[in-house]
Structure 1
Amino acid sequence: MSWCQNDIKVKMHSHNDYHQNIPFWKALSCGFGSVEADVLLKNDTLFVTHGASEIISNRHIENLYLQPIQKMIRLGMEVNPTLQLLVDIKSEAQPTLAKLIAVVEKYPEIIKKKNISIVISGNRPEVSQYVEFPDFIFFDHQSLEGVADEIAWDKVALISLNFKKYSRWDGRQPLTEEEYKKIKSIIDKAHSLGKSFRFWGIPDTPMSWETFYAMGLDFINTDDPVGLSIFMDKISKR
């Protein structure tokens, strides 16, 4: 099944991908290189949910993401050179990470694929503790300040910031020159640290997508994977 035909090699990020009617597979079909899942540990199970009050018993990290990724590998369905599973932890960091590691270790095919990364966002341990985690676990850094410990810094896969802290732009008219330069400087700063960069909370509009593509944003964030994929495919053919 295919929702999109997209040949563009831009990293599109499916924000809160589990809200899609077909989690993971829709994003994969649309050529996405990154999907995001909120995860909460309860009763020794990693539920995919934003909060405890929203838990649905049959929606957990294994059946929504790890099993599909394993199936993708076995069927040779990888559509991007890399795939990022961004796990936004909503429960306490250490016990949730311990459970996540134990669960992921049941999928050696995923661990062996060096082009597939599991990146921890949300509740995270102290940066100094990053080196204690397995090679297949990476972290989302939410600051434009680097980390002095080079080994810990190597565990950082990307930098993510909340766009709304920097701008009120609604994505429906062009940015002013001043705003454009301000936002571009943030992206450039992240790149100067040697990391990929993502804004979350960007306007989810065609003008926004095109603007951030032109700026060189590494991951374009969306709740509309089909719309973004189709739009970006058109841009690539101009």
Structure 2
Amino acid sequence: MALTTRRRALTTLAAAVAGSVAVPAYAQATEGGHRPRPLWRAHAHNDYLHPRPLLDALDHRFGSVESDIFLVGNQLLVAHDPVELDPTRTLESLYLAPLAARVKANRGSVYRGQRKPVQLLIDIKTEGASTYQELDRQLRRYRHLFTTYAHGRVFPGAVTAVVSGDRAARVPMEAQTVRRAFYDGRLLDLLAPVPAPSSFIPLISDNWTLNFTWQGVGTFPEVERQKLRGIIAATHSRGQKVRFWATPDLAGPARDAVWGELLAADADYINTDDLAGLEAFLDAHR
């Protein structure tokens, strides 16, 4: 069975049995009567490839999920590659509508009793300006759900949408006086003569392998450790958060070593496709 076909079959099967299996982790109470806390540092990379997009990540208490989108006509389709496009797998059906339903059920938050926004990172795979215009239209339909920038002020919502991918989205975004999405910056943005404020770029993301040689084997070179901590300190001083993609993601000591250094340096997000693996790691390192 082809990988794409298998993923769709798993998604269909999971949807059919949803509600008849174990109670998700976010709803389970501990012996003391408290729900497990969300893992705000946990970022579900390529979240839509899991059997139950969004829902699996939330069951593992993730604070951030990532969806790739393609503009096809007036639809925003979710996929990793064009050959996987499916008109039934839209941003609205997999993310926007389920988030709205959950926030309504939880009285205004993604995780009941938690007022901190969950991050929805939206990676644009088609031309950025036109794709963002359609994304903006769809986010406006769910305006009650999202953190909003309006006339110089940020008003927190249950979900904060951050736009990544094709950089042409930046122009129409910066022109807006009211928007329901923010921009995912790169390390080069820190070097701009007049850096954009955190009200536009709240997140700085970059490729780990382009900035560090260390892949978790042996000792982290001290020069690279100080570079990592300097990057994070610089972004935090501007009110921004940090995420690296392309970090090691094969279960084992090397991955744990990199994750440990990211935690020690106070990185805001750890990137993974292994939901259960990162959940267990973060629970063990509280």
Please, what TM-score do these two structures have when normalized by structure 2?
0.74
Give the whole-Å Cα distance in 2 for the aligned partners of 1:83 and 1:153.
17
Describe the SS at the equivalent of 1:187.
Answer: helix
For 2:110, which of 61, 65, 78 is the aligned residue? 78
- 3-12 or 81-90, larger mean C-alpha shift: 3-12
Cα 1:101–1:13, aligned 2, differ >3 Å: closer, same or farther? same
1:1-238 alignment, distance < 5 Å: 1-2=23-24, 6-7=36-37, 9-76=39-106, 78-79=110-111, 81-111=116-146, 114-125=157-168, 127=170, 129-133=172-176, 134-142=178-186, 143=188, 144-146=190-192, 148=194, 154-204=199-249, 205-236=255-286
Q: Which of these two proteins has the greater Rg computed from alpha carbons?
A: 2
Q: Is the 8 A contact 2:43 2:271 kept in 1?
A: yes
Please, what TM-score do these two structures have when normalized by structure 1?
0.88
Q: Is the 8 A contact 1:38 1:90 kept in 2?
A: yes
- 178-187 or 194-203, larger mean C-alpha shift: 178-187
Q: 1:7: how far off?
A: 3.1
- 6-15 or 33-42, larger mean C-alpha shift: 6-15
Cα 1:39–1:206, aligned 2, differ >3 Å: closer, same or farther? same
Describe the SS at the equivalent of 1:109.
Answer: coil
Cα 1:170–1:60, aligned 2, differ >3 Å: closer, same or farther? same
Gaps of 5+ in 2: 1-22, 29-35, 148-155, 250-254
Q: Is the 8 A contact 2:129 2:170 kept in 1?
A: no
Equivalent AA in structure 2 for residue 114 of structure 1: G
Post-superposition Cα deviations, 1:2-49, rounded to whole Å, max 9, x if no partner, equal 257853654211111001111111111222111000101012210111
Q: Highest relative contact order (Cα 8 Å, sep 6+), 1 or 2?
A: 1
Equivalent AA in structure 2 for residue 188 of structure 1: A
Post-superposition Cα deviations, 1:187-223, rounded to whole Å, max 9, x if no partner, equal 2222233211111111122222222111100111111
Q: Is the 8 A contact 2:46 2:68 kept in 1?
A: yes
Gaps of 5+ in 1: none
Describe the SS at the equivalent of 2:280.
Answer: helix
User: Identity of aligned pairs, percent?
Assistant: 31
Equivalent AA in structure 1 for residue 183 of structure 2: F
Describe the SS at the equivalent of 1:40.
Answer: strand
Give the whole-Å Cα distance in 2 for the aligned partners of 1:9 and 1:23.
17
Give the whole-Å Cα distance in 2 for the aligned partners of 1:165 and 1:185.
16
- 76-85 or 127-136, larger mean C-alpha shift: 127-136
Aligned residues: 235
Cα 1:89–1:203, aligned 2, differ >3 Å: closer, same or farther? same
Equivalent AA in structure 2 for residue 22 of structure 1: R
